[in-house]
Chain A
Amino acid sequence: MTVETHSLIVRLPGGADRLPPGVLCWRRTAASPESVRAVARREAARPMHPAAAPVRRVLVTAGDVADLVIVADRNAVSRSRLEQGFEQDFEQNLDVVAAPWAATAPAATAVSWGQGVPGQARSFETVPVTGGEREFLAAAALVLACYEARDRVTFAVVPGADAEARLVTAEVSGRTVADLLAPPVVTTAGEAVLGVVVTSCDGPDEYVAHHRPPYPVTAHVELGGATIVRVRWSFTDLVHPATARRFADQVSRLAGRLGQVAPDLDAGRLDLLTSAETAEVLRLGDGGARPPGEQVVARRFREIAVRRPGAVALCDGTEQWTYARLDRESGAMAAGLRAYGVGPGVPVGICLDVGAALVVSQLAVLKAGGTYVPMDPGHPADRLRYLADDARLRLVIGSAATFPDAGAMTVVEPAELGREPAGPEPPAADDGARAAYVIYTSGSTGRPKGVVVPQRNVCALVDAVRDDLRLGPDDTWTLFHSSAFDFSVWEIWGCLLTGGRLVLVPYWTRRDSDEFYDLLVRERVTVLNQTPSAFAQLVRTDERRRGELALRLVVFGGEALNVRMLAPWFARHPSATCRIVNMFGITETTVHVTSETVTPSAVSSGSRSVGRALPGWSVSVRDAHGRVLPPGVPGEIVVGGAGVATGYRGRPGLTAQRFVAGGTTAGDRVYRSGDLGRLHPDGRLDHLGRLDHQVKVRGHRIELDEIRSVILDLPGVREAAVRFRAGDDGDGRIEAYAVLEGATTEQVLEACRRILPGYMVPSSVTALAGLPMTANGKVDMSALPDPAVAPAPAASQEGDDALAGRLSAIWAEVLKADVAMTTNFFTAGGTSLGVVRVLARMQERGLPKVPVRQFYRNSTLAQFVDLVRTTIDG
């Protein structure tokens, strides 16, 4: 419905008198002869109404200066006709031409890197531009390739005002400057985000080929001879105004550089941002100064214990520990540890499940000046041994039974240590740089590596969020996560260093959503930390139970959040009563990095933002060479500031590789996260997945997480995981897994075909009853089964009675496999989520509720049938 216009401004040499009599035009006077052209340009840019005549002329005068503005419908008047716009019979002789770009180069309707603000389009000129048309096109290709994060880009070129638009492609990776300056290759398929319109202009007249930009990014290059006189840029509101400006500046600058550098220079070596622009982008991602505060954990704890000795610090079942008691007993244990030779910098393993002893031990190790190394007693013996070796542990607090062949290592029960008489406690060491803990993380490749985190980092974390999250003595937290997962660092010290009450969640309660829900209600927990996967279960329990929760703050961490899962939660818990905060974090940068309050509107927009860097932390997004990328461009998330760990224990090589120089101030180290992200012009960060989830299929760079979010957004899909399996032929297959609630795998596949480009469509979609989870509550990609080829068979094994039949049917559904009475749920691929699914289905079908822990103890079908029968009978 809008009229595409072009315009010509003609300076009338003899003033307004040059205009032949009888030429119809609107008249307007400008304030001064100097302002005539500016007013004329405004008139040229005015829209044309669809019902109005296809030509509008406005005569702008001041003194003896006169500009005639001729605006015309592009589809009715060609450029050459426009030149005759001041002839009297002009209106009678209009010709009809098609807008050049309408013919062959469809404009894109989305800009992946644009981050635009609706209603905020931008148009401006860049002058002067050194270099000619070839340099400009090459520069545009390079900059576009950077923004699209692609090696090959497609854009439109309109050579001349009345010529047809052509789509061209340019390959930029591994090319020399000379390669880039060669004429681009014409192509036929694709949509253009960028269109370059090239026209020549002579003299004082001004031609504008388009007023509503035909492409999301349109560059109108005006040539005077072989040089560029001016470039008019138009960005639609698909591109953020700040990004628009930067994009245009980059192209201009680069066009100039291309003419000066050696032709055989690798084009990839050209910097796209100036150092000033880089500094500006770094500032965007900077969370600001670290708030001041005590840097030693034990001293901070002591301050609180002295101030509020009677306040409850720990709640372990029915037992309450005051701050005073925790202080006293950890002091006694610290004395015991010293007797074992623990002193500054000595690592002490703590292999205990969640409980008061765990917290006391951690505090005691810190008080003794040591470094604790959390070990999950549920982990395989091999892994524990590896940790003990790698961390050079000589002392482990735990149960001797867990370490059958401890060798030279001493394993001591916490109770034994606590018995030492506590003399006057020596003052805690005052060095915040000393390691507080070493937590082992397993990357996607290689052996677990120990991340060494100094005390001051832990304190900085608490200081960074305390005010914003209003953490204080009225809060009740849970310690839900295994101490081997650094989310627990946040749970323990986030609570105890702000004077809160920490409720220790027993092992079985963590695995039973109902029991955990009861605990939240009973203990009136106010601050809850969860992985999104675990919270998804809690949301369902809450929908069913509708209990009275006292939660005022839920913090997500550990994995990417799909905000849509929160819709049912917000329906029951308005964000004003319970704030939802999504935090992106990494063990190597001390638990958290950024924080974003999730609102119901973010849920409806499907935001992937993880927010801004915490005060003291900083984020930037960089390319493979470590160069800072501007907002909008995807790249590796790099974290700097107060949270950056010391490094990997005993791995100088790996440490040097991941912890590199390059902070905002000289000497600052930053951590290369291996996560893929994108900065917003306001400094917020989008988390886009793992870099190693980025795979190449038939030459296309693919984001597995992008496929996952498409599947997750489908109706009838509750959870999804997507993985890539390399094939023998060098290519691989994309395999999707989904927990379905109404949809079928065929529908999911069908929708993927509809929404995703062909090379991103999974080759299989497998329905699962639940996604396998790691001990830390994240999706366990390695435990996904082989993809289903045919729909899963129905239960085939009949039990020896009706109850067994019903239960075996449920097992078969959940396990997606045949089951026999001898089948062990867990060896047949059942997961903790599978357990929940079985129990939920039993409940749906009127079968009794059995406690989760009983399930684990009766894990063959025969045992399970007996268990259920005794529950019914009893």
Chain B
Amino acid sequence: MRLEGRTVLITGAARGIGRACATRFAAEGADLVLLDIGHDLPGVGYPLGSADQLKQTGALCERAGAAVLTVLADVRDTAAVGSAVDTALERFGTLDVLVNNAGIAAPSGKAVHEVTEDEWALMLDIDLSGAWRMIAAVAPEMLRERRGSIVNVASTAGTVGYRHFAGYVAAKHGLIGLTRAAALDYAPFGVRVNAVCPGSVRDDPHLDGRMLSEIARSLDVPVGEHEQIFLRDQPMNALLEAADVAGAALWLAGDDSRQVTGTVTAVDGGFGAR
């Protein structure tokens, strides 16, 4: 049990990679604060995680023996984020790990100059500023305890460009910058900050996963063939499972990586090797 007695807050935990992280961490002995928005957003052209989906993640974790607190909050809302963290501290007394996983892949699919002001702002507000808001709310607690690990779920889009994905690419590049800067700010206090960069993750129906198909839709890649097409970029010749990302996040969250901070871990089936 690598996270025995640790309390972990995961954003975007209703489904997908967030849910995979939550259940894996629960199996490793962690107690969990599961956060998600719980409703759709007008500018995002696909459904976001629902309150039911979040409850479902919670139930899976409890079954694995974890104490669970679920919180509905939008990572764009400073006050909501703050009160979510306060509630978590009331319940658990401390927070040891933060996984910044909440994110959106659309609105995308346009060349840079075609992106509207609102689309650009929305993308950065969630994918980059959301992580910053969470860190700002959680870090004081970690600094007080002089320990903690923050894992930011970025993307291969945080290290290379993708056509017609400027907002997402910019936000994920920004998230890696934030990771490195925060790592330096907090290293003297024993708090670590690292990023994970997943490649293409298979939409797992058990996790209600759907991001890959949304990315495909944005890129005008025919959904149905998109898995084959995305596969070509990953030399391991397989799409990733969300559990692969959870495994990396687990390592970064736990003490096995106690001297690791400010790093970027690619989980991309070899995408970055070429």
Instruction: Tell whether, in the assembled complex, residue B90 and residue A56 are in contact, meaning their CB atoms are under 8 Å apart.
Output: yes
B67 at interface by CB-CB < 8 Å: yes
Top 3 A-B residue pairs of the complex, sorted by shortest distance between their CB atoms: A47-B93, A49-B89, A52-B90
Measured between beta carbons, the chain B residues less than 8 angstroms from A29 are 62
Q: Which of A28, A49, A51, A53 contacts B67 (CB 8 A)?
A: A28
Measured between beta carbons, the chain B residues less than 8 angstroms from A56 are 90-91, 93
**Contact mask for chain A residues 672-704; partner B; CB cutoff 8 A; 1 contact, 0 none:** 000000000000000000000000000000000
Closest residue of B by beta carbon distance from A29: B62
Bound CA–CA A48/B93 (angstroms): 4
B29 to chain A, nearest CB (A): 10
Measured between beta carbons, the chain A residues less than 8 angstroms from B89 are 49, 51-52
Closest residue of B by beta carbon distance from A52: B90
Known: A31-B65, A49-B94, A51-B89. 4 other contacts (CB 8 A): A26-B91, A47-B93, A49-B141, A53-B90
B205 to chain A, nearest CB (A): 27
B258 to chain A, nearest CB (A): 10
Closest residue of A by beta carbon distance from B66: A28
Bound CA–CA A512/B94 (angstroms): 63
A46 at interface by CB-CB < 8 Å: yes
A1 at interface by CB-CB < 8 Å: yes
Bound CA–CA A46/B141 (angstroms): 15
**Contact mask for chain A residues 22-43; partner B; CB cutoff 8 A; 1 contact, 0 none:** 0000101101000000010011
Instruction: Tell whether, in the assembled complex, residue A49 and residue B62 are in contact, meaning their CB atoms are under 8 Å apart.
Output: no
B230 at interface by CB-CB < 8 Å: no
Closest residue of A by beta carbon distance from B147: A119
A45 to chain B, nearest CB (A): 9
Instruction: Tell whether, in the assembled complex, residue A43 and residue B67 are in contact, meaning their CB atoms are under 8 Å apart.
Output: yes
B92 at interface by CB-CB < 8 Å: yes
B274 at interface by CB-CB < 8 Å: no
Residue total for A at the interface (Cβ-Cβ under 8 A): 16
Measured between beta carbons, the chain B residues less than 8 angstroms from A43 are 67
B144 at interface by CB-CB < 8 Å: yes
Instruction: Tell whether, in the assembled complex, residue B93 and residue A49 are in contact, meaning their CB atoms are under 8 Å apart.
Output: yes
Write the residues of chain B forming the contact surface with A, with a CB cutoff of 8 angstroms.
62, 65, 67, 69, 86, 89-94, 141, 144
B122 to chain A, nearest CB (A): 33
B262 to chain A, nearest CB (A): 22
Measured between beta carbons, the chain B residues less than 8 angstroms from A42 are 67
Closest residue of A by beta carbon distance from B64: A31
Bound CA–CA A49/B67 (angstroms): 17
Instruction: Tell whether, in the assembled complex, residue A46 and residue B62 are in contact, meaning their CB atoms are under 8 Å apart.
Output: no
Q: List 23 A-B contacts (CB under 8 A).
A: A1-B144, A26-B69, A26-B91, A28-B62, A28-B67, A29-B62, A39-B67, A43-B67, A46-B92, A47-B93, A49-B89, A49-B90, A49-B93, A49-B94, A49-B141, A51-B86, A52-B89, A52-B90, A52-B93, A53-B90, A56-B90, A56-B91, A56-B93
With a 10 A CB-CB cut-off, give which of A29, A49, A56 has the most chain B CB atoms. Answer: A49
Closest residue of B by beta carbon distance from A28: B67
How many A-B pairs with Cβ below 8 Å? 29
Closest residue of A by beta carbon distance from B67: A28
Bound CA–CA A48/B92 (angstroms): 7
With a 10 A CB-CB cut-off, give which of B69, B91, B93, B94 has the most chain A CB atoms. Answer: B93
Measured between beta carbons, the chain A residues less than 8 angstroms from B90 are 49, 52-53, 56
Closest residue of A by beta carbon distance from B255: A119
Measured between beta carbons, the chain A residues less than 8 angstroms from B144 are 1
A665 to chain B, nearest CB (A): 41
Closest residue of B by beta carbon distance from A43: B67
Q: Which of B62, B67, B69, B94 contacts A47 (CB 8 A)?
A: B94
B9 to chain A, nearest CB (A): 14
Bound CA–CA A28/B59 (angstroms): 11
Measured between beta carbons, the chain A residues less than 8 angstroms from B65 are 31
Closest residue of B by beta carbon distance from A53: B90
Measured between beta carbons, the chain B residues less than 8 angstroms from A47 are 93-94
Bound CA–CA A52/B86 (angstroms): 8
A617 to chain B, nearest CB (A): 36
Closest residue of A by beta carbon distance from B65: A31
Measured between beta carbons, the chain B residues less than 8 angstroms from A39 are 67
Closest residue of B by beta carbon distance from A39: B67
B18 to chain A, nearest CB (A): 21
Closest residue of A by beta carbon distance from B94: A47
A59 to chain B, nearest CB (A): 12
A124 to chain B, nearest CB (A): 15
Closest residue of B by beta carbon distance from A49: B89
Measured between beta carbons, the chain B residues less than 8 angstroms from A26 are 69, 91
Bound CA–CA A28/B67 (angstroms): 7
Closest residue of A by beta carbon distance from B93: A47
A67 to chain B, nearest CB (A): 14
Bound CA–CA A43/B69 (angstroms): 13
Bound CA–CA A53/B144 (angstroms): 18
Measured between beta carbons, the chain A residues less than 8 angstroms from B92 are 46
Bound CA–CA A29/B58 (angstroms): 12
Bound CA–CA A47/B69 (angstroms): 16
Bound CA–CA A39/B68 (angstroms): 13
B91 to chain A, nearest CB (A): 6
Bound CA–CA A31/B86 (angstroms): 28
Closest residue of A by beta carbon distance from B5: A42
Bound CA–CA A46/B67 (angstroms): 11
Bound CA–CA A53/B91 (angstroms): 10
Bound CA–CA A528/B79 (angstroms): 68
Measured between beta carbons, the chain B residues less than 8 angstroms from A1 are 144
Bound CA–CA A275/B237 (angstroms): 61
B1 to chain A, nearest CB (A): 13
Measured between beta carbons, the chain A residues less than 8 angstroms from B91 are 26, 56
Closest residue of A by beta carbon distance from B92: A46
Closest residue of A by beta carbon distance from B89: A49
Q: Considering the complex, which residues of chain A in the window 587-622 have a beta carbon less than 8 Å from any beta carbon of chain B?
A: none
Bound CA–CA A1/B141 (angstroms): 11
A69 to chain B, nearest CB (A): 11
Bound CA–CA A47/B93 (angstroms): 5
Bound CA–CA A41/B93 (angstroms): 15
A28 to chain B, nearest CB (A): 5
Measured between beta carbons, the chain B residues less than 8 angstroms from A46 are 92-93
Measured between beta carbons, the chain B residues less than 8 angstroms from A53 are 90
Measured between beta carbons, the chain B residues less than 8 angstroms from A28 are 62, 67
Measured between beta carbons, the chain B residues less than 8 angstroms from A48 are 93
Measured between beta carbons, the chain A residues less than 8 angstroms from B93 are 46-49, 52, 56
A854 to chain B, nearest CB (A): 57
Bound CA–CA A49/B142 (angstroms): 12
Closest residue of A by beta carbon distance from B62: A29
Bound CA–CA A1/B143 (angstroms): 12
Bound CA–CA A52/B85 (angstroms): 11
A692 to chain B, nearest CB (A): 45
Bound CA–CA A39/B67 (angstroms): 9
B15 to chain A, nearest CB (A): 23
A41 to chain B, nearest CB (A): 12
B57 to chain A, nearest CB (A): 16
Measured between beta carbons, the chain A residues less than 8 angstroms from B94 are 47, 49
Bound CA–CA A345/B107 (angstroms): 97
Bound CA–CA A22/B141 (angstroms): 30
Closest residue of B by beta carbon distance from A211: B93
Bound CA–CA A1/B62 (angstroms): 31
Bound CA–CA A42/B89 (angstroms): 16
Measured between beta carbons, the chain A residues less than 8 angstroms from B69 are 26
A169 to chain B, nearest CB (A): 36
Bound CA–CA A842/B54 (angstroms): 83
A7 to chain B, nearest CB (A): 12
A54 to chain B, nearest CB (A): 11
Measured between beta carbons, the chain A residues less than 8 angstroms from B67 are 28, 39, 42-43
Bound CA–CA A45/B89 (angstroms): 14
Measured between beta carbons, the chain A residues less than 8 angstroms from B141 are 49
B202 to chain A, nearest CB (A): 31
Bound CA–CA A188/B89 (angstroms): 39
Measured between beta carbons, the chain A residues less than 8 angstroms from B86 are 51
Bound CA–CA A1/B140 (angstroms): 13
Bound CA–CA A80/B174 (angstroms): 54
Closest residue of B by beta carbon distance from A45: B5
B67 to chain A, nearest CB (A): 5
